[in-house]
Amino acid sequence: MRTIKRQSGSSLKGLLFQNKSLLISAVIASIMIAGLNIALAFILKLLINISIDGEVADLFNLLFVILSFLSLYLIVSVTQYWTKNKYVKEAMVNYKNAITDRMIKKDLSDFRSHNSGSYISVINNDVKTVETDYVEGNIVIITQATLFIFALGAMFYLNVQVAVVAIVLSLLPIITSVAFNGKVSLHQERVSEKNGAFTTTIKDIFNGFTVIKSFGVEKEVSSAVSGVNNSLEVDKRKFKNLTEMVKSLTEVAGFIVVVGTFTFGAWLAIKGKTTPGDVLAYIQLLNYLLGPIVILSESLNKRKAGAVLIQKIDDLLISDGQKEAGIPKEQFNHSIVFDNVSFSFDGDKDVLTGIHLALEKNKSYAIVGLSGSGKSTLLNLLMGYYDSYKGNIYIDDVELRDIDPTSLYKMLSVIQQEVFMFDAPIENNVFLYKNYPQEALQKAITMSGLDGFIEKKGSGFNCGENGSQLSGGEKQRVSIARALIKGTPVLLLDEATSSLDNETAQAIEQSILNIKDNTRIIVTHKLNSDALRMYDEIIMMKNGCVVEKGSFSELLEKKGFFYSLYNVTDNARQKEELLTV
Ligand SMILES: Nc1ncnc2c1ncn2[C@@H]1O[C@H](COP(=O)(O)OP(=O)(O)OP(=O)(O)O)[C@@H](O)[C@H]1O
């Protein structure tokens, strides 16, 4: 058997930097803004020096410079936000599309290993944080770092001693911020996890609204939500407290830098070693030194936390890995074989034990057994929902785990009791937006018993959210039609007609059993002798094992477990109930 190699997959982070020309334009504009801010300090210095010992003509010349400066500032600033917003928009479109794409391409077993709330929370919360703290944060960091470097350079230009004092003191807020880096990331990750749990809880309320109402458990559910909500808000508060404490500490450290540098500048002015204009320029430059330190410390911490979220998103989408491209197999030639298959959900207690089955092409099989005996799990293994089973499942001698999942679903269709419906017209729900030959459509619609409904309501009838405008039976008919239209060589039915009345259910079962060029494996609770007689083989399950198999008459002759169940009563209805308990 080929082993499944797990591949780590590439990180989606690269997508955030894909549009390089826009990113570079936004960065250049940001750097220019930083330069213009420094130029403002020199303009103020000139203004003060002219006011002390200059001429009116100098003042007019300077005013002309100021007007040109303001026009340039406006142009650069508009360019900066325009390119930045366009870059962020394109980066986020690419990133979110890639996330959705990866989610959809996950194979079933991988997708089901995570709670759907985690995926929703990633799209709703984490991606937003990545946008503000990481993508926009990168540009903020570049702008502020440039402003800091320019301000420092300008200080050196004005006075080396003042610049050295400013650098030494600036280490204080930087150290403060770096010291809390790790802790901030940890708290951000915790908030993200709690967001996921909260989304899952809210999702459960929407999905289980009818249950909540009919069982009158509003208060209990509200209190459960309140617990999750409270826990999320507690962690959010801790996160905010921490970031704001870091901000306060950095601000205080910043004041020390201002007061220290300014005192030193004032001392130099008193000694006559610098001009008042220079002192004003120091003050202005100090703002450009301190502002960035505070913003940088906050932005660097948030960026780090954003990077942790990017990693978390990657892990959710990649770490479980997708199967290495498997063997493409779309034709079903002769048989499906379960060779000593055992399976456990929790790795402890087996739900299926030592299953040996050989299912031949174009035959029909009924799987029967008491509730919880493992019938659905057997079908789910065949659908590739789980790959951690022991033993082997072969489709025409190819191990199921080695088959490319996409091609597997071209061979198998499943019809289940739970039917998902899109909030779309019935025709889109049946065809699932694909084109099929008219003849195939008509055949599937007739066989599934949907023809009457479509005639009455029209193919454009909207099904409502998850089919709220349709009855349970109508939804099941849609699901049957969907599978029949797909025309796969193997059909799996798991309680597919349970919501239909006995007569309709039997009619549909009969028409499915009449398809001769199809392999049908049908889990049924209905011990109806007319239907059971039509199956090539009945597989009787008990406690995760296949205990009997054979045709209806063979099993009756055997007088075993199937016989005893079938003969418990002559009343078919009671037999059905017996198996459902
Ligand atoms: N996702 C799951 N996680 C853990 N245990 C599960 C899971 N799904 C099913 N089981 C357990 O596995 C056993 C077999 O379940 P399965 O649904 O296959 O039985 P079944 O014969 O189809 O039952 P029914 O006729 O009631 O649908 C049961 O004990 C069930 O509780």
Residue having the nearest C-alpha atom to atom 20 of ligand 1: 372
Tokens at 569, concatenated: 């009563």
pLDDT of residue 315: 83
Residue having the nearest C-alpha atom to atom 17 of ligand 1: 376
pLDDT for 3 beyond 60: no
pLDDT of residue 385: 85
Ligand 1 centroid to Cα of residue 315, in Å, is: 29
pLDDT for 570 beyond 60: no
**Under CATH, which number does the domain 335-414+490-580 receive?**
3.40.50.300
Using an 8 Å Cβ cutoff, are 105 and 184 in contact? no
Ligand 1 centroid to Cα of residue 246, in Å, is: 51
304-314 pLDDT, tens digit each: 888 888 988 88
Burial class (CB in 10 A: 0-12, 13-18, 19+), 307: middle
Ligand 1 centroid to Cα of residue 353, in Å, is: 13
pLDDT of residue 459: 84
Query: How far is the C-alpha of 526 from the C-alpha of 532, rounded, in Å?
Result: 9
pLDDT for 573 beyond 70: no
Instruction: Using the atom order of ligand 1, give the atom closest to the CA of residue 380.
Output: 18
Residue identified by tokens 């193919």 is: 459
Task: Give the model's confidence band at 237: pLDDT under 50 very low, under 70 low, under 90 confident, else very high.
Answer: very high
Burial class (CB in 10 A: 0-12, 13-18, 19+), 122: buried
Using an 8 Å Cβ cutoff, are 538 and 560 in contact? no
pLDDT for 572 beyond 70: no
Using an 8 Å Cβ cutoff, are 152 and 167 in contact? yes
Ligand 1 centroid to Cα of residue 348, in Å, is: 15
pLDDT for 527 beyond 80: no
Please give the DSSP secondary-structure letter assigned to residue 522: E
Query: How far is the C-alpha of 161 from the C-alpha of 574, rounded, in Å?
Result: 98
Instruction: Using the atom order of ligand 1, give the atom closest to the CA of residue 544.
Output: 14
Ligand 1 centroid to Cα of residue 383, in Å, is: 15
pLDDT of residue 234: 95
Query: How far is the C-alpha of 89 from the C-alpha of 2, rounded, in Å?
Result: 43
Residue having the nearest C-alpha atom to atom 5 of ligand 1: 345
Query: Which has the closest alpha carbon to 494: 416, 419, 420, 418?
Result: 416
From 367, 373, 546, 576, the mutation candidate for ligand 1 (largest count of ligand atoms within 8 A of CB) is: 373
Ligand 1 centroid to Cα of residue 297, in Å, is: 53
pLDDT of residue 537: 95
pLDDT of residue 89: 93
Least confident of 337-351, 361-375, 490-504, 510-524: 490-504
Residue having the nearest C-alpha atom to atom 13 of ligand 1: 372
Ligand 1 centroid to Cα of residue 536, in Å, is: 25
pLDDT for 4 beyond 50: no
Task: Give the model's confidence band at 231: pLDDT under 50 very low, under 70 low, under 90 confident, else very high.
Answer: very high
**Stretch 175-192: mean pLDDT:** 84
pLDDT for 2 beyond 60: no
pLDDT of residue 180: 85
CATH 3.40.50.300 boundaries in the chain: 335-414+490-580
21-52 pLDDT, tens digit each: 999 999 999 999 989 988 988 888 888 888 88
Query: Which has the closest alpha carbon to 313: 5, 88, 102?
Result: 102
pLDDT for 98 beyond 60: yes
Residue having the nearest C-alpha atom to atom 6 of ligand 1: 345
CA distances from 338 to 353, 368, 555 (A): 11, 17, 21
Least confident of 7-21, 404-418, 460-474, 475-489: 7-21
Which ranges of 425-560 would DSSP assign to H, the alpha helix? 426-431, 438-447, 451-457, 472-486, 502-513, 529-534, 552-558
**Under CATH, which number does the domain 12-319 receive?**
1.20.1560.10
pLDDT for 8 beyond 50: no
403-456 pLDDT, tens digit each: 888 788 889 988 887 788 888 888 888 888 778 888 888 888 888 888 888 899
pLDDT of residue 9: 55
Residue having the nearest C-alpha atom to atom 29 of ligand 1: 372
Ligand 1 centroid to Cα of residue 371, in Å, is: 8
**Stretch 159-188: mean pLDDT:** 84
**Stretch 482-486: mean pLDDT:** 86
Please give the helix or strand (H or E) that residue 336 lies within, else none: strand 335-344
Task: Give the model's confidence band at 526: pLDDT under 50 very low, under 70 low, under 90 confident, else very high.
Answer: confident
Instruction: Using the atom order of ligand 1, give the atom closest to the CA of residue 579.
Output: 25
296-342 pLDDT, tens digit each: 877 888 888 888 889 888 888 864 444 556 788 878 999 999 999 99
Amino acid at 162: V
Instruction: Using the atom order of ligand 1, give the atom closest to the CA of residue 495.
Output: 27
pLDDT higher at 16 or 379: 379
Instruction: Using the atom order of ligand 1, give the atom closest to the CA of residue 541.
Output: 21
- Pocket residues for ligand 1 (CB within 6 Å)? 345, 351, 369, 371-377
Instruction: Using the atom order of ligand 1, give the atom closest to the CA of residue 346.
Output: 4
Instruction: Using the atom order of ligand 1, give the atom closest to the CA of residue 373.
Output: 21
Phi, psi of 414 (to 5 degrees): -120, 140
**Helix/strand/coil for 351:** strand
Residue having the nearest C-alpha atom to atom 7 of ligand 1: 345
Residue identified by tokens 């400066």 is: 69
Ligand 1 centroid to Cα of residue 349, in Å, is: 12
Ligand 1 centroid to Cα of residue 386, in Å, is: 13
Using an 8 Å Cβ cutoff, are 404 and 328 in contact? yes
Residue having the nearest C-alpha atom to atom 1 of ligand 1: 345
CATH 1.20.1560.10 boundaries in the chain: 12-319
Task: Give the model's confidence band at 569: pLDDT under 50 very low, under 70 low, under 90 confident, else very high.
Answer: very low
**Stretch 515-528: mean pLDDT:** 85
From 341, 376, 580, the mutation candidate for ligand 1 (largest count of ligand atoms within 8 A of CB) is: 376
Task: Give the model's confidence band at 579: pLDDT under 50 very low, under 70 low, under 90 confident, else very high.
Answer: low
**Stretch 561-573: mean pLDDT:** 68
**Helix/strand/coil for 84:** helix
Ligand 1 centroid to Cα of residue 563, in Å, is: 24
Query: What is the longest distance spanned by two Cα atoms in the chain?
Result: 121
Query: Which has the closest alpha carbon to 571: 508, 539, 528?
Result: 528
Q: Mean of the per-residue pLDDT values for the chain?
A: 85
Query: How far is the C-alpha of 163 from the C-alpha of 153, rounded, in Å?
Result: 8
Q: Report ipTM (2 d.p.).
A: 0.96
Ligand 1 centroid to Cα of residue 491, in Å, is: 21
pLDDT of residue 110: 72
Q: What is the spatial order of strands in the sheet that 390-395 belongs to?
A: 350-360, 335-344, 390-395, 398-399
Residue having the nearest C-alpha atom to atom 31 of ligand 1: 372
pLDDT for 469 beyond 50: yes
Percent of the chain with pLDDT over 90: 28
Percent of the chain with pLDDT over 70: 94
Q: Which of 103-107, 150-154, 319-323 holds the top average pLDDT?
A: 150-154
